[in-house]
Structures are given as C-alpha cells and as structure tokens.
Structure 1
C-alpha cells in the first residue's frame, strides 16, 4: 500500500499542509512558550546586528592601524567594542538554541502523538493493508519535518532578511550604486540557481524517501515473519529482497547527493566570479583614490556576510521544500478518513457487566460486502436476548467471521444495522462499543512486555491482586508462578515465547479483567489441539456465564450448549435452532456434525443424545 500520491501543484500542496498543521501551531498552542520565543527572537536580532557591525568595526581598526603616526595610539575603545561584540555574538547562538529546543521538541511530540492517535482512529480495512515499517518512518519524518519548519519560520527567515537589508544599506552608503547593482544581479542569479537545484533535490529526495520506506518495509516484514521464513528455509530469499531494496536506496541517495554537489559547485563558481569582480572594482577605486584600503577590507568582509545570508535564506527555501517532501506521507496519512464515522451526538452505554448486566444483540436485515463485487452477507436477521448465547457456524467463506467483525464495528453493514440494547452501533460512541464487547480471538497477539502487563491490559486501573485473580480464573496462575520471573516474565514479540494454549489463557484473563457485557469468541480454540481445546473450553464456558455470548466457530463441539445456533451458507442463514433441533432436522448442521465426528448421525431419531462430543 502506498501512502503517498505526489502532486505537482506546489501551491495547493502548501496550502493543504498549512491547513492540516494549523491546529498544532496556532497561537494559543504556542502561547505557553511565547516568552521563550520572544527572547530567542531578540537574541537573533542581536546576532544580526553584531554580524553587520563586526566588519565595519574591523575596518575602523584597519584604518587606524594604516596610519604610521597612530600605530601606538590605536583607540582602545575600538578593540573593547570588538571584544564585546564577539562575546555577545558567541553567547547569543547557544542561548537561542537552548530557548528554542523545548518549543521545537514539544511540537514534534504533539505531531507524533497526533499521528499515532489518527492511526488508532482508522478502520480495520486500513490496517489490513498497511505497511508497518513505512508507517513508522512516516511518523518519524513528519515529526522531524514540523520541527524543522518551526525553526526555519521563526528563527532563520527574519534575522537573515534583516541582516541582508542592513548590509546592502551600509554598502550603498559607504560605496555607491554600482556595487549594490552588481550584488543584486549576483544575488538574483544565485537565487535562480538555488531554486532550480532545490526543485531537482526535492524530486530526488522524494524518490529517496520512497526507497527508504520500501527498505524499511522489507526489513520489518521479514523480522515479523521470521518463523515463516525459517520454516520454508527462505532466509536467502529474504536477504536478497532486502539487499535489492537497500541497493535501490543506495542509488536514490547517490542521485540526491549528485544534485547537492552540483548545486554547491554552481553556487561556488558564481560566488567566486562575483567576488573577483567586486574586488577588482574596489582595487580600481583605491588606485584612483575613490576608496581607502580599509573600505577594500570592508567590502570583502561584507561579501562574505552577504553570501552567508543568501545561503541561509536558500537553506530556508531548501529546508522548507525538503521538510514538505518529508511531510507529504504524514499529511496524506492525516488526510485518510476512517469509514467508521462517529455520530455527532453519540449514545453512551455502560461497558462492564457489573455496571449494567448483559446486553442484547440484534442483526437486522444485515447485508455486507468487502467490495461492491464481493458480497459476503445477504439479509441476515438474528436476535440475541441479553444473557443468552448465539453460535454462528458454517463452512469456510460462509461469512461467520464477518458477522463477528460487524458486531465489533470493524466495518459497517452496507444494508441493515447491528444493534446493542436496541441502539444502532452507528449511534453508539465507538469507545463504548469497544468497552461493551470482549473478544477472545483465534490468534491472540500479545505485547512484547511482561505477562502481568498483558493481562492487565484488560483494565489499566487493575491492581496486582486483580491481575492475579483474573489469572487464577483463567487457570494460568500456576503456570505463571512457575516461571523464573513470574508475572514479570517478558512474553516476546507478539507473545512468541508462549504456546497457543498459554496465549489463549492470557486472552481469557484479560477479558475477565475487562468484564464486558458481551463476549465474542471468534474461533477461539480452532488453532489448539483437542486436549488443550477441551481445557480452554471450560474456562470459556465459565467466562460466558451470565453475559451475552456470540460464538463464531468451525468446530461444532464448542457450540453444543449455545442457546441458539445459526448455520450460514454463502452468506445466508440456512438453518437455526438448538443443537438437538438441528441434528434432528438432518440438514446442513447435521451433515457438518457427522463429517467432523466421523459418524453419520443424520436420521437418528432416538440416538441423538449419544452424538459424539469430540472432534476428529
């Protein structure tokens, strides 16, 4: 998935960038740091003034020393002034950086947090298509670029413009209009050259960023899937793919550096030609006694200052463009809107079972497709009274897991609605839906932190005693205490240090802490062996007591005790009833039961009760 769609319309892109960044940089956000910014601006103005005054003061000293009769009487106050100016100039820069850094880093923090917050607000559909490595680089570069923009806007443009204007004014006053005209022409050419190469560098930088994202994606994807890589002995293939991505990044870096070097060479030649011309003019004016030697020294010093100011302003332009390139992915990420929209006046419902008891669930004429050409569910209507259990079964691809996703509002139905306690999910605050429903998935993903923290994630306010109590209820406390570090044992990336059954028990303990009003078991034991499944099933049965439970299952042995079982086929309800009723009916469910049990129980009128309760 690509996050970036480049636009050649720079003005529109710039306006869009400012509009999206404005909530972070508007005055009321920066007001707490106004004193810091104000002092930093004063220091910058002092720096500019000392930069212009130093060459002038130095020329005065040269003029005094050039008179033999005055060699022993060089005005001490000139030297004193020079010393004061150099000290002030030397102190201003570190003090300015000290004042500016907290403002810059705080803005970067807010930009990074805004990006992460936006990511968590995006829909499941986005996260299924994401590239984790590229996203992390996008957030990092976006935060860095915003800090760069703040520094450029507040602390580079103003002092350098003032220094440039002051220097040209002094040159016009001390010398004449010829020098100023030549400088203006040279500065214009300098700016044009800088503009052209900046555009080229921006294109090259965008290509570099794209190559960098791809290399990061290859690296992260390979590490996250190392078990698959190892099981297929494809380490060499992964290394080759990463090496190819790094080679592309190498070429992009070289291309970028080529433009940087050519830009420096062009500007260096222009500076050399301009300096030579001006010094030749100044030497000629000295010969005809229009200028003094001290003024010759002064024009040389001011030329250096002018080039420095123009270079700094060019850096502002280049920095702005480079930062904007770095911001493109970030801004486009912020521009992505979730398909799950919060109602303007959302209904708030309690989430914990202890607060409001079990909640009712209803699927009312629900139809859904992941894309217009891929319809999954067709006119599904199911009512689940509070405190009862519903099992949804069917062959692979029948749409049973999709119903579970609609219940958690990972997606919205294309037709119909899903209701909790009589309220359409689209009317309920999304956070409340997430609090109301506790999910035990087929593949439990854990954080790379301690096992205690992973259990405590079900309720961030839970005490250590609450976590241990939940672990005991999930039958994992004894296992945890047997570990060398107990509840402080780190489970590894995605919980890879734990077995499937151990991870499922952690998931159960986490949901116990959450105390949801609705329990969703989404193929919760399908990845486990029969013995582990039977043990986990006992914990799940205890967990589902007194709360509304929706079970999405392929193994029918896990749904026999459900209040109602709904059988899906090709996205439509083909049967529904209790376990006994469906076996007696001899339809889809009975055929599935017979296939899984290894026996033909269809048509048995009196032996239904003896139907096997295990899976093959």
Structure 2
C-alpha cells in the first residue's frame, strides 16, 4: 500500500514565522555567549595540559618550587574562568529560549483559532494542547542543544585534537578518529530505531491524553449513565499501549548505551596500551600518559554529548512533526487578498441575502437544498423546522463559518467571500443554544462581547439580560468564577450570560439560535423584551424552537429536509393550514415541534 505523504510546514518558513521583528537583542546575547563559549573551551583543553606539566615537574629529581607554583596559579585561574564561563553563557541564552517557546506556543494557538469550523468539528482538544506543548519544547530543546552542547563540544574536540597531534603522534589521532566514526555509526543505527519507537510512544501518549480529556469533559454523562468502570477500562487500555511503547523505547536507549560503553572501554584500553609501549620505549613520559588519560575522558564525554545531540535533534524533530503538520493546515475560510468594504448604510442593520444556497459537509449528503431569501436591514426573519432540517446551518452560513457548495450569501449586496473575516464578524452577534463560557469571572465573560468595555457598560448589559438578581446573590458579584465551561451556572443562566455578551457587543446583525430555549417562561418573557429592544432597527435572524417567540417576525421560513417548505408571516402561515399551522397547534396543545411529523403539507 502506498504511503500517504503528510504535508508539513518547511523549517525555513517556520523560522520566518517565529523570528522576532528585531534580532538586535538576540544577536547581542548570541555573540556574547560565543565569547564565553570560546573562553570555556580553551580553559577545558588547557587545564589538563597544565596539570600534566605540573606532574612532569614533580617527577624530576630537582623540583623548582617557583615553577610549580606558577603552573598552579595558571591552572587555578583557568579553572575559575571555565567555572564562570559556562553558567554565564547559559544564563545569557535563557531569555532567548523562553521567548522562543512563548512565540511558538502563541503562534500555534493563533493558527488553531484561525482554522475553520470544519477543522474544529474534528479536533481533539487534548491532542492539540500536547501538540503545541511538544512543538514549543522541541524548539527550545534544539536551541539549548546548539548553544549548550554542539558548539562547546565541537570546539573542544577541535582544540583537543590539535593538542593530541602536537604532543603525541598521528597514530593516536587516527585511532581516536576511527573510534569516533564507529561510535557515530552505532549511534546512527540505534537512533533510527529510537525515532520509530519515539513516534509510537508519542502516538500512544496522545491517545491516552485524548481519552483522559474526553472522559473529564463528559464527566456528567459518565456519572449519569453509571459508566465509570467503562471509562477506567478504556483509559487502562490506553495506558497499557503507552506502557508497552515506553518500555520498547527505554530498551533501545539502554541497549545503545551498553554497546557504546563497551566500544569506549575497548578503545581506551587500546590507546593507553599504545601509550604504555611509547613510555617503555622512552618516547613519552609519565606526564604525557596522564594527559592522554585525561583527554580520552574528555573526548569520549564530548562524543557522547554530541551523540545525545544527534538523538536529541531527531527526537525533537519527531516531537515537532505534529506541530509542523498542524501549522501546514490551511483554513477553509479565509479573508480575500483584497477585501471589499461594506457600503455605507444605516448603522443599525444590514441586509442579508441567500441565493440558491446548497450545502453539505459531504457533497453526497446535502443539508441545505436551493435555499433563497432576502432579509432587509432592520427586519426580523425567523427560521423554524424540525431538528435536522438545516436551521442552524443557515445561521452558520450567515456568519461564514462555512461557504456554500452552491449559491452565494450576500451582506449589503457584497458576497461574503469578498469581505474580510474581521469586518464580517464585527457586524454579527450570535447567541447559540449551546453557550460556551470561559473559566473566568462573570464580568470577564460578559466583557468578551466587546473587549475593553467599562464596568458600567458590563453592568448595564447584565441588567438588560436579567442577570442582576443572580449577581446580587453571589458572594463575589461580578467577580464570581463561573467554572470550566460555566459548570457553576444553570443552562438558563449561561444563556443569559451569552445574551448579555451580545447586548454589550451591539451588533448590526443579530443571530439568535434558539437563544431562549433553556429559559423558564417568566425569564423568557423578560429577556424577549430585552432582545426586542436590542433588535429594534437591527437585522435579526432567529432560529426558533418556541413559535410563540416569533409571532412578531417580519417573515418566517419553514424548513423541511433542508429546503424551504413554507414562508410568510405568522398570520399568513396559519391561514395556509400547512406545516407551520400544524406546529402551532401541536405546541398550543403542549407538544414539541421536534417530534412533529410532516402533516398538512
């Protein structure tokens, strides 16, 4: 089976997105870090050489104390410089790493919010949060490895090889290089295996996290259906897969370390054996033997560190794959390159028109079929129908959450795709049946309708939405936290919060998607009065469940199976004696529109 090619954002484009507008601060820290890096590398290579010279001086019969003390002083100064250079270099790069992580996290969040409703229908919140975190961590890790590992060790190895070539012979350098090449080959093979294992571990980790978040978000359903044991078993299965993937990954890591340690042991024995033969032949002294042992430990430590970088780089690339795939996604709904501005008109409302609109998430299963209507500025259009008839889809098309498969939607005579998304959505205020609230205070949730609103404006909107009695009962008033997704509020209270948002927003087009369906009759009447005052002179699109709330609508559309079955005023539709009249009689008798069948059509 042919593999599917996954599109990822190129690293060059990724860097262009995350780089700051000015590199001045980053450049200063980089070059200053390089100075401390050179200082650290020179001291790490020079101190063993000075130590071997002290050993050589102490090995002769006539020891000159002044020379020994001078070497000791130099040794001490170099050690102190090396001890300071490393930490200072790391501290200089801390703000850069933190800023980079922050930019990547914010870039990912912004990109997700700009993706279309079609993406968010399929999204898994837990996986998305993990994807952003891993992408930010991986980028920070790469920067840290470059400045804390790659550059210091490469420079240190280069200086060490120069000293080995000068103090010893080319044979020692050849053996060191041969060992390094073999070491690198073994590491390369194990790293490829580890990358595959890490991908499997990451996928298992994402699945486990997704199951956990999904279970917690639906905690009420789990408890109400008594399915706690089922959720535990499902999560246990996900953790079992994660455990198996983690064990395989750690097994490969341990095996790689064991093989590389054995190679280092054999190479060390060979080089020290060669040094012993040279000492026996009087070609080297004891001081050089000590220097060789010290440099061997240094070289192998550097090679091991660089191998960690190689593996770390590949691991970071694996961790960034999902992030780069996410960033490569293009939103289905975008602003045009050269948007058209809405023509000047009345400030209170806008005209909304649909012409021969058909829509479906799958072209083979249409939700809407050839829907046309015109809603004049300042008028109210009500849309009614059974569940699944396409009522809410019309509201989403009006907000351009989707584009129709056929036909066009117009605002003030301008096709919606010709408007910028910012200008379009600035005209619209939506109150949906399923209200979303942030885990913030009452005031912050209301103010989300118009960021920057004053407390007096927030209070006025709350009073208009009949929230004042509730807020007065709360111990912290407007500062009361509503809980995650507004869990501390009832369904009616959450809808009143959403209505307060729209009142504060003061839009030109109101979209009320069954906005009062969760309210009791008394509260509904009070809020209907507030909404009528808000909608006066503004264009209003109402998705209605209770027909009693739309009697005063200027025009009513009855949807059935995705098409317009009837339309007219309340009185006209009752006189026709069709579907709407049947719905009205059913509700008047205490029935439900949702269970109504096609009668009298």
For Structure 1 versus Structure 2, the TM-score category normalised by the shorter chain is over 0.9
- What residue in structure 2 maps to residue 476 of structure 1? 467
- What residue in structure 1 maps to residue 108 of structure 2? 115
**TM-score w.r.t. structure 1 length?**
0.92
- What residue in structure 2 maps to residue 168 of structure 1? 161
Give the SS at the match of 1:68: coil
1:280-429 alignment runs, 5 A limit: 280-349=273-342, 356-429=347-420
| Residues 1:525 and 2:501 are matched in the alignment | no
- What residue in structure 2 maps to residue 431 of structure 1? 422
Task: Give the unaligned 5+ runs of structure 2.
Answer: 592-601
1:136-175 alignment runs, 5 A limit: 136-175=129-168
Q: Label 1:85 to 1:210 Cα distance change in 2 as closer, same or farther (>3 A).
A: same
Report the alpha carbon displacement of residue 440 of structure 1 after superposing the two structures with TM. Answer: 0.8
Task: Give the unaligned 5+ runs of structure 1.
Answer: 601-616
CA distance in 2, matches of 1:159, 1:94: 13
CA distance in 1, matches of 2:17, 2:46: 38
CA distance in 2, matches of 1:147, 1:165: 26
CA distance in 1, matches of 2:20, 2:350: 46
Q: Label 1:504 to 1:519 Cα distance change in 2 as closer, same or farther (>3 A).
A: same
- What residue in structure 2 maps to residue 51 of structure 1? 44
8 Å CA contact 1:439–1:511 kept in 2: the answer is yes
Give the SS at the match of 1:156: helix
8 Å CA contact 2:466–2:526 kept in 1: the answer is no
Give the SS at the match of 1:372: coil
- What residue in structure 2 maps to residue 190 of structure 1? 183
| Residues 1:255 and 2:248 are matched in the alignment | yes
CA distance in 2, matches of 1:530, 1:228: 27
Report the alpha carbon displacement of residue 486 of structure 1 after superposing the two structures with TM. Answer: 0.8
| Residues 1:270 and 2:257 are matched in the alignment | no
Q: Label 1:383 to 1:25 Cα distance change in 2 as closer, same or farther (>3 A).
A: closer
Report the alpha carbon displacement of residue 168 of structure 1 after superposing the two structures with TM. Answer: 1.4
Give the SS at the match of 1:371: coil
227, 236, 242: which one pairs with 1:234? 227
1:561-589 CA deviation, whole Å, 9 max, x = no partner?
11000111121112110000011011221
Report the alpha carbon displacement of residue 529 of structure 1 after superposing the two structures with TM. Answer: 4.5
CA distance in 1, matches of 2:433, 2:106: 31
More moved, 162-171 vs 317-326: 162-171
8 Å CA contact 1:41–1:155 kept in 2: the answer is no
- What residue in structure 2 maps to residue 83 of structure 1? 76
1:289-312 CA deviation, whole Å, 9 max, x = no partner?
111111111111111111122122
CA distance in 1, matches of 2:19, 2:444: 38
8 Å CA contact 2:37–2:152 kept in 1: the answer is yes
**TM-score w.r.t. structure 2 length?**
0.94
Give the SS at the match of 2:259: helix
CA distance in 1, matches of 2:258, 2:186: 11
Report the alpha carbon displacement of residue 101 of structure 1 after superposing the two structures with TM. Answer: 0.4
- What residue in structure 2 maps to residue 504 of structure 1? 495
Give the SS at the match of 2:87: helix
| Residues 1:60 and 2:53 are matched in the alignment | yes
CA distance in 2, matches of 1:375, 1:264: 59
CA distance in 2, matches of 1:6, 1:316: 30
Report the alpha carbon displacement of residue 532 of structure 1 after superposing the two structures with TM. Answer: 4.3
Q: Label 1:176 to 1:341 Cα distance change in 2 as closer, same or farther (>3 A).
A: same
CA distance in 2, matches of 1:162, 1:182: 20
8 Å CA contact 1:24–1:107 kept in 2: the answer is no
Report the alpha carbon displacement of residue 475 of structure 1 after superposing the two structures with TM. Answer: 1.4
CA distance in 2, matches of 1:462, 1:28: 31
Q: Label 1:102 to 1:28 Cα distance change in 2 as closer, same or farther (>3 A).
A: same
- What residue in structure 2 maps to residue 584 of structure 1? 575
Report the alpha carbon displacement of residue 546 of structure 1 after superposing the two structures with TM. Answer: 2.0
443, 465, 486: which one pairs with 2:434? 443
8 Å CA contact 2:18–2:104 kept in 1: the answer is no
Q: Label 1:414 to 1:197 Cα distance change in 2 as closer, same or farther (>3 A).
A: same
8 Å CA contact 2:342–2:414 kept in 1: the answer is no
1:450-599 alignment runs, 5 A limit: 450-598=441-589
Q: Label 1:25 to 1:413 Cα distance change in 2 as closer, same or farther (>3 A).
A: closer
CA distance in 2, matches of 1:191, 1:398: 64
CA distance in 2, matches of 1:60, 1:350: 86
1:386-420 CA deviation, whole Å, 9 max, x = no partner?
00000111122211111011011110011111111
CA distance in 1, matches of 2:253, 2:44: 27
- What residue in structure 2 maps to residue 607 of structure 1? none
1:460-496 CA deviation, whole Å, 9 max, x = no partner?
1111111111111111112201211111111111111
Across the aligned residues of Structure 1 and Structure 2, the Cα RMSD in angstroms comes to 2.0
| Residues 1:102 and 2:95 are matched in the alignment | yes
Report the alpha carbon displacement of residue 156 of structure 1 after superposing the two structures with TM. Answer: 2.9
CA distance in 1, matches of 2:221, 2:247: 34
Runs of 4+ in 1 over 6 A off after TM superposition: 5-8
Give the SS at the match of 1:70: coil
8 Å CA contact 1:54–1:85 kept in 2: the answer is yes
Report the alpha carbon displacement of residue 159 of structure 1 after superposing the two structures with TM. Answer: 2.8
Q: Label 1:584 to 1:41 Cα distance change in 2 as closer, same or farther (>3 A).
A: same
